[in-house]
Structure 1
């Protein structure tokens, strides 16, 4: 034990375990059953590398010289042989196996020097200026550890401006993992990539591969087209014939008119009658709001699907009053601020935009419906029931307007036969139907109706309405050539549907019992129309029950089965409003009174919009810049209302939330109503 340290000698003298390992500052010791001990010096491998490196630098005990670009590198064959390249060379019958000097060609001397340092020391310095040269040299010398270091360095410095070049580099050296990472960066940040110089060097096939990637993400489809225009302009002579290959994979129906006009005027498009016809038809389709025109222009079924994260969904909000978040307005006298405008929420960006100002002092409780690029805004009130204007009249308005989204113009329509507020609107077969609302002194006179002939621009005799029990949670929706009225009947624990066939003027009726509780039936009904079916959503215990009403059958039927995703396109959705209505009778407190039931409606507003994906039966919540009450709400499609005809829409700044003036929560048994 004379060669061990005092610590090791002491451990040997006190040895009890059959097999033990102890480590001191200099040595490691492993004791065996027969009493023997294996000692090791843990820094020995480092010292050996350091000694070999010193010898190599000083030319001591070296047995070969590697010459690269005129520079000589004295080396040890045994050390070089750790790489497959030199191991094969030294173990072959080639002249280099015994040569004193080996000359390497097609390799950078600086890169070889760094790789040689790595072989001797296990460390290498890589920078942005030499990483490609080092990777090339490491690939030639089959130094896999160095290649891995280069890949890690490249990935760490990967950005939109260099990911296209990295994809090309990875192809050259067969680095599949690096190419996958670079491609993921390119498709996830395509809007930035398309503005970089390296993007212009893509081949046609490489460009098509990127545009066809199902994970492609862009801020908007305009970026894709503008990038393609830049790509075409980079080499106009050789690429002008490639436009016919690229245009079919562009989702033109989601591109703004101003960008389509740039594409339309491009020489490569002008020289192809087929391409020119597609672009022109798409542009005209935006102005007309005609889906058929867009279907012929490389839309989803014919061309590239919209980029991941980009949808055609739009929430339109008309007027209303800005409110204090989550206030119980039957207890609060805080004045409400009118929203004298139309705003739209882009679902993709979760951003609201100011579209236009209302042409009337009427700001709330208006009916809103859309047909093509036109919005029809009818009726309403100048002030809310909560804070009526003491100096003016608050009777329901007879005014009716048509707004052209594409040209930002208003048209005054003939006044309605009678004023109406708080009603719902639906357009079927060229006719605008107004249902329910307040038409006189009685609130929630739900089933009176008006009818406007859009082509004749005249109010006509409305269909006769059957006798139906009024209820405050009426939902009106157009589907399959019918006006569909849906209501929940709390006392009967079921919901019912009345459907009017506009052509035959015939009403049909169907009802269905529900799993929902009576309280759930007081909530607003959410519905969306898909082909000839209306899908209804009722929330209970935080979950949604989905019911389907088929309007195409002669005998209407309602099914509460699971939604068949094969029958529903993925982009179809449901958006519902931001005002939550809760019914509760509170003796001695003022509220919005339902004159039919004589019960108090207490209102609590929210800034949230719930966004439903019908096919996936999932939802997400979006946030408005402010809480609203008494607004008109419409779920629409950008491509149909003229969204892409407008270049500049001002963003609505998020307002600082007002402090609740009354931080009071009820502790009674039905607190969860709030």
Structure 2
């Protein structure tokens, strides 16, 4: 007989002895009820019982053992598990069973209960489960629950558990850069619900909480029509100051003399959160196929479900275009049609699943780099009808128009990323050679300057910001398709090589979903690719995790 089968038979026989009351040598008295058992089984299950029965304690010889401060049904379920390997866990019983298992040092049952709780996390209970994990010393349960609270903050903030938090716990949540909210208005609304739930409780603490609401980042109309009209910002001096700083911050875009006040007084409150304007999917649009056909197809990749999905196509086929996301709207910018460099801009509403035309660029731009800085879209360089461009354009959503300015030098097939109020423009092609230079645009001074050059010259590369650093991957140099990857540290002003891709890529998409870097599509020097790669920050490995529906290169991502 196989050992596993033998063990199962033996366990079944011991359970039968328990049911028949045979050879039981201990009665556990819990909440005035008795649970019979065999010492050897309990000692094998739990270090708690082993220490009790295999030492010089009085319980070693006692037949009746009274167990204080534990739940009868939890202990009964644990004893039953010792004989059957089965645990009947419900939402009503799981916490008492896990707490009992923790005290008895039964890690297997703790794991089963922890897994059950994680699977049943909901915006209405995640804060309570997080606190329970802290109480019983389950770091894993607390950490997973806490991350769930972050990732679902908007829904969590509408439930009673959130409304009953004390001031320090509210601050502990809303002060995080990693709070997953689409816009700061969601945080403001959550705080105002907390205030309204118990006005007497919150009257002395509201300014402490409001300090961590990033009012400089709410929309101007919301700031003027909603925030400034709330009596809180009339009667509370601290809150009134936060409002003034927010207005000065936003007005500094038009009145540079206000910029020092706005940034010096509200540095933390004007720092965008990690997930602002972020997508929870990777979006890929346009590009070219393996036979050089220009594409209009549009798809998304959901990394959490590992699913790709077709979306309504771009109204016109384009390659070498740029893509940006602002407030759940995707902008497809510039690029090239079959006949010319394009000035067209189309916007896709993620909720409505509809495209509409937007104000055109001042200049047609193919191989354009696109990035979002402080809520504004920048279209940088690219190739015009005659030559490589040294200009960039900034989009004004209110006016639905673009304004034209100059960069330090011409470049197309470059890539851009934003980090800490700065836009980094990396690599590209200047009309003569591939470039390794990088320039940075500071939103405060509104000036361009050079920063450290990349180690490898490259065009058609991918660039993305992650965890306070800039990643540059793939691309090409002198017709050589590259697999090398390097990382820029702004504090050190230095690029460092890290582990290469699993194969060369150029003209691919590189983007961050949540806190993870993904690469999609592109050309490996021989053929177009469909594969989607995921970057592991700990090991620095790239692994294939999925596929695009359509093989494509030189597309918007």
TM, length-normalised to structure 1? 0.46
Matched, 1:167 2:85: no
Distance 1:609 1:133 in 2: 52
1:95 is displaced (CA, Å) by 4.2
Structure 1 counterpart of 2:204: 241
1:183 matched to 2:149: no
Q: Given that residues 247 and 275 in structure 1 are in contact (C-alpha distance below 8 angstroms), is that contact kept between their aligned partners in structure 2?
A: yes
Distance 1:175 1:298, change over 3 A: farther
In 1, Cα distance between equivalents of 2:10 and 2:294:
73
SS of residue paired to 2:36: strand
**Counterparts in 2 of 1:112-123, with a 5 A limit?**
112-123=75-86
| The one of 80, 99, 102 aligned to 1:139 | 102
How far the C-alpha of 1:564 sits from its partner, in A, is: 7.9
Match of 1:111 in 2: 74
Contact map agreement 1:52 1:120 (CA 8 A) in 2 = yes
Q: Distance between the aligned counterparts of 1:53 and 1:379, measured in 2?
A: 77
Partner of 2:328: 349
* Partner SS state of residue 72, structure 1: strand
Q: 1:106 to 1:270 in 2, by over 3 A?
A: farther
**Gap regions ≥5 residues in structure 2:** 280-292, 296-314, 317-322, 333-341, 345-358, 365-378, 395-403, 413-427, 464-485, 494-506, 522-553
**Within 1, Cα distance between the matches of 2:24 and 2:263?**
72
Partner of 2:542: none
- Do the aligned partners of residues 69 and 478 (structure 1) sit closer, same or farther apart at CA in structure 2, a change above 3 Å counting? closer
- For residues 483 and 275 of structure 1, the distance between their equivalents in structure 2, rounded to whole angstroms, comes to 38
Contact 2:249–2:263 (CA under 8 A) maintained in structure 1: no
Q: How do residues 272-311 of structure 1 correspond to structure 2 at under 5 angstroms?
A: 272-283=236-247, 286=250, 289-290=253-254, 292=258, 296=262, 301-303=267-269, 305-310=271-276
Matching of residues 471-482 of structure 1 within 5 Å: 472-476=387-391
Helix, strand or coil for the counterpart of 1:309? coil
Greater CA drift, 202-211 or 56-65: 202-211
The secondary structure found in structure 2 opposite 1:302 is: coil
Count of residues paired in the alignment: 378
- Secondary structure of the 2:203 match is helix
Which residue of 1 is the match for residue 460 of structure 2? 542
Q: Distance in 2 between matches of 1:298 and 1:165?
A: 38
Match of 1:533 in 2: 448
In angstroms, what is the RMSD of aligned CA positions? 5.4
| Contact 1:251/1:298, CA 8 A, preserved across alignment | no
Query: 1:92 offset after TM fit, Å?
Result: 4.8
Pair 1:478–1:163, CA change in 2 (3 A): closer
| Distance in 1, Cα, partners of 2:128 & 2:116 | 15
Per-residue deviation at 1:147?
1.3
The partner residue of 2:178 within 205, 209, 215 is 215
Partner Cα separation in structure 1 for residue 362 and residue 430 of structure 2: 32
Residue of structure 2 in register with 1:60 after alignment:
22
Q: TM-score, normalised by structure 2?
A: 0.54
- Which residue does 1:460 correspond to in 2? none
Indicate the residue corresponding to 1:596 in structure 2. Answer: none
Shift of 1:86: 2.4
State the alpha-carbon separation in 2 of the partners of residues 476 and 60 from structure 1: 89
Report the CA distance shift for 1:294/1:309 in structure 2 as closer, same or farther (over 3 A).
farther
Q: Deviations over 1:114-136 (max 9, x none)?
A: 11101122221112221112112
Distance 1:177 1:54 in 2: 36
1:189·1:217 contact (CA, 8 Å) conserved in 2?
yes
Alignment of 1:473-552 (within 5 A): 473-476=388-391, 484=406, 518=432, 529-530=441-442, 531-533=446-448, 542-543=460-461
Determine helix, strand or coil for the equivalent of 1:249.
coil
Residue in structure 2 matched with residue 204 of structure 1 by the alignment: 167
In the other structure, the counterpart of 1:125 is: 88
1:289 Cα offset (Å): 4.1
Displacement of 1:477? 6.0
CA contact (8 A) 1:253 1:299 kept: no
Please list every run of 5 or more consecutive structure 1 residues that lacks an aligned counterpart in the other structure: 1-26, 29-40, 314-324, 328-335, 338-343, 354-363, 367-376, 385-423, 425-436, 438-443, 445-470, 491-513, 546-561, 570-607, 623-671
For 1:259 and 1:68, how far apart are their aligned partners in 2?
59
Q: Deviations over 1:342-363 (max 9, x none)?
A: xx9644635359xxxxxxxxxx
Please give the alpha-carbon distance, in whole angstroms, between the structure 1 residues aligned to 2:508 and 2:327: 13
Is the CA contact (8 Å cut-off) linking 1:311 and 1:348 kept in structure 2? yes
Partner of 1:156: 119
Q: Which residue of 1 aligns with 2:376?
A: none
Paired with 2:17 and 2:361, the residues of 1 have a C-alpha distance of 94
C-alpha separation in 1, matches of 2:276 and 2:138: 31
User: What are the within-5 Å matches in structure 2 for residues 60-459 of structure 1?
Assistant: 60-82=22-44, 83-257=46-220, 259-260=222-223, 262-266=226-230, 268-283=232-247, 286=250, 289-290=253-254, 292=258, 296=262, 301-303=267-269, 305-310=271-276, 326=294, 346-347=325-326, 349-352=328-331
Deviation at 1:42, TM superposition (A): 5.6
Q: Return the alpha-carbon distance in structure 1 between the equivalents of residues 271 and 172 of structure 2.
A: 13
Computing the radius of gyration from Cα coordinates, the structure with the larger value is: 1
Q: Distance in 2 between matches of 1:67 and 1:288?
A: 72
